[in-house]
Structure 1
Amino acid sequence: MMINIKDSKILIGLMAVLLALVIAVWFIFFSRVTPPDFSEHPAGPERKMAFFSYFKPIIDDVNQEFIADREFVTSVCSTDDKNADSQLAELAVKYRIDKVDIENESLCDVLLRRVDIVPPSLALAQAANESAWGTSRFAQQGNNFFGQWCFEKGCGIVPNSRDESKIHEVADFRSPADSVKSYMLNLNGHDAYKSLRSIRQSLRAQNASFSGIELSYGLNKYSERGEEYGEELREMIRFNKLTEYDKTS
Structure 2
Amino acid sequence: MLINKLLFFILLFSSAIFAKGMPKEYFEIKDREKQKIYFFEYIYKLSKNENEKILKERNFVKNILNSNLLNIDTNSDEFLKLLKIKKKYRIKKLYDLKSYMSKIDVIPPALSLSQAAIESGWGKSRFVKEANNIFGHWTYNSKIGMIPKQRNAGAKHFIRVFKTMQASVNAYMLNLNRNNAYKAFHKERYAIRLKNKKPTGLKLSQTMINYSGIAEEYLRILKKVILKNNLKKYDKRFYQQIK
The interval holding the TM-score normalised by the smaller chain is 0.7 to 0.9
**Alpha-carbon offset, residue 87 of structure 1:** 5.0
Residue of structure 2 in register with 1:221 after alignment = 210
Query: Which of 151, 155, 176 lines up with 1:162 in the alignment?
Result: 151
CA–CA distance in structure 2, aligned partners of residues 245 and 49 of structure 1: 11
What residue is the counterpart of 2:88 in the other structure?
94
Could you list the per-position Cα deviations for residues 54-87 of structure 1 after superposition, in whole angstroms to 9, with x for gaps in the alignment? 1111111111111111111110111231448755
Partners in 1 of 2:130 and 2:98 — Cα distance? 39
1:121–1:212 CA contact under 8 A, matched in 2:
yes
TM-score w.r.t. the length of structure 2 is 0.84
Q: Which ranges in structure 1 are unaligned for 5 or more consecutive residues?
A: 1-25
| Paired residues of 1:114 and 1:188 also in contact (CA < 8 A) | yes
Cα 1:43–1:167 shift into 2, 3 Å: farther
| Code of the aligned partner of 2:116 | A
For residue 18 of structure 2, what is the aligned residue in structure 1?
32
The answer (yes or no) to whether the contact 2:116–2:134 under 8 Å persists in 1 is yes
The letter for the 1-side match of 2:19 is V
Following superposition of structure 1 onto structure 2, how do residues 153-232 of structure 1 map, counting pairs within 5 Å? 153-232=142-221
Q: Distance in 2 between matches of 1:115 and 1:177?
A: 19
Q: Judge conservation of contact 1:153–1:167 (CA < 8 Å) in 2.
A: no
Which segment drifts farther, 37-46 or 131-140?
A: 37-46
Deviations 1:90-127 (A, max 9, x none): 11122233xxx33xx95322111111000000000000
The 1:43/1:227 distance shift into structure 2, 3 A limit, reads farther
Partner SS, residue 209 of structure 2 = coil
Matched, 1:248 2:232: no
| 3-state SS of paired residue (2:154) | coil
What are the ranges of 5 or more consecutive residues in structure 2 without an aligned counterpart?
A: 1-10, 239-243
Q: Take 1:126 and 1:87, find their aligned partners in 2: how far apart are those partners? A: 31
Q: Secondary structure at the match of 1:76?
A: helix
Q: TM-score w.r.t. structure 1 length? A: 0.82
Measured in 2, the distance between the counterparts of 1:87 and 1:135 equals 38
* Aligned residue pairs, count: 221
What's the CA shift for 1:153?
2.0
Say which one has the larger Rg.
1
The correspondence for 1:127, drawn from 87, 102, 116, is 116
Give deviations 1:182-226, integer Å, cap 9, x for gaps.
101110011111110110000000112221111112211100011
Structure 1 range deviating more: 81-90 or 107-116? 81-90
- The 8 Å contact of residues 114 and 189 in structure 1, kept in 2 or not, is answered as yes
Asked if the contact 1:212–1:234 (Cα under 8 Å) also holds between the matched residues in 2, the reply is no
Give the structure 1 partner of residue 47 of structure 2. 59
**Cα 1:163/1:205, change in 2 over 3 Å:** same
**% identical aligned pairs:** 32
Deviation at 1:48, TM superposition (A): 0.4
1:25-73 per-residue CA deviation (whole Å, 9 max, x = no partner) reads: x8xx743133314433236202101101211111111111111111111
**SS state at 2:54 partner:** helix
AA matched with 1:182: A
| 8 Å Cα contact 1:119-1:211 kept in structure 2 | yes
